[in-house]
Amino acid sequence: MSQEMRIGLAVSSKQSAQESAELLRSSYDFVPVEQSDTVLALGGDGFMLRTLHQMLEEDMPMRPVFGMNRGTFGFLMNPWAENGLMERISKAKPIDILPLKMVARTVHGEEVTRPAINEISLLRETGRTAKIEIEVAGRLALEELVSDGVMVATPAGSTAYNLSAGGPILPLSANMLALTPISPFRPRRWPGAILPEDTAVRFRVLTPEDRPVSAVADQFEVRDVESVEVSLDRSRPLTLLFDPNHALDERIALEQFEVG
C-alpha cells in the first residue's frame, strides 16, 4: 500500500465481516483508523452508522469512509469484493452528508446533545398516544399532533424509517429535510412537511408525565423528554465513498420507482 493510500479498517463483529477482514489483511496492509486518511468499513448499514457516529462523538478527524456490505441490506455500502480495493477507493465518488443535531431536555432537567445521520424521532413510550407541539423556524406550526410520534429525516435517511412511516424520498441534492408524522391520529390527514435544510424544528411534549415520549437520534435514545430541538450541523460534514456505478445519490433517486 502506498503512503498516499493509508487505509484504516473498521470491522463489524458479524462473522461474515470478520472472515472478509482476514481475507483483506492477507493482501493489503492497513493502518490504525486514527492514523488513516480513509476508512474501510466492513458490515451493514447499522455498522456504517456506528462508524460515522464514532467519528462525530469522539471528536475524531473526519475521514472519508468506503463501506463494503457484509450485513443485510447495505444501502449505505458498496458491494463486497476482495480484489481491486485500492483502485475502487481511488476512483470512488464522494458523497457529502450533513448530520442533524438533537438537543433533548428531559422532565428531570437533564439536557442531552446528540448527532443523527438518518433521523431524529420522537416516539411514545406507552400505549397512550403522544401529544406534541411543533415549532418551525421559531413559529408555531402545529398546536397539537396526536400520534405515535414524529421525526425529522435527512435525505440520506429518507429511504429508511422515514419512508416506512409514509414520508417522502429526498434526493441528496435537494437540500431539504422531511418532517414526518408516525401514525397520526389528529390531524388525521396531515402528511408532514418538506423543509429547507437550515430550518430549525422544536418539539414540545404536551403532558409528558401522562404521555411520556422518548427521543431517538439514529440508535441513541433519551427517555422522558420534555422538549427536543433539531437543527442541521454544518460544522462536521461526513463523506461516504461509492463505486461510480453504485453511488448513493442515484440509488436514492431510483428508490422512488421501487414498487415491490
From first CA to last CA, the distance across the chain in angstroms is: 43
129 is known to lie in a ligand binding site: no
118 is known to lie in a ligand binding site: yes
164 is known to lie in a ligand binding site: yes
223 is known to lie in a ligand binding site: no
148 is known to lie in a ligand binding site: yes
How would DSSP label each residue in the chain?
Answer: --TT--EEEEE-SSHHHHHHHHHHHTT---B-GGG-SEEEEEE-HHHHHHHHHHHHHTTPPP--EEEEE-SS--TTSBPP-SS-HHHHHHTPEEEEEPPEEEEEEETTS-EEEEEESSEEEEEESSSSPEEEEEEETTEEEEEEEEESEEEEE-TTTTTTHHHHTTPPP--GGG-EEEEEEES--BSTT---EEEETT--EEEEESSTTTS-EEEEETTEEE-SEEEEEEEE-TTS-EEEEE-GGG-HHHHHHHGGG---
Of 45, 210, 224, 249, catalytic: 45
161 is known to lie in a ligand binding site: yes
192 is known to lie in a ligand binding site: no
Residue 66 sits at φ, ψ, to 5 deg, of -110, 115
Q: Lay out the sheet containing 238-242: strands in order across.
A: 7-11, 38-43, 65-69, 238-242, 93-97
46 is known to lie in a ligand binding site: yes
202 within 8 A of 228, measured Cβ to Cβ: yes
State yes or no: is 45 an active-site residue: yes
90 is known to lie in a ligand binding site: no
How distant is the alpha carbon of residue 163 from its chain centre?
13
28 is known to lie in a ligand binding site: no
92 is known to lie in a ligand binding site: no
245 is known to lie in a ligand binding site: no
Write out the catalytic residue numbers.
45
What residues are designated binding site for NAD(+)?
45-46, 50, 118-119, 128, 148, 156, 159-164
What residues are designated binding site?
45-46, 50, 118-119, 128, 148, 156, 159-164
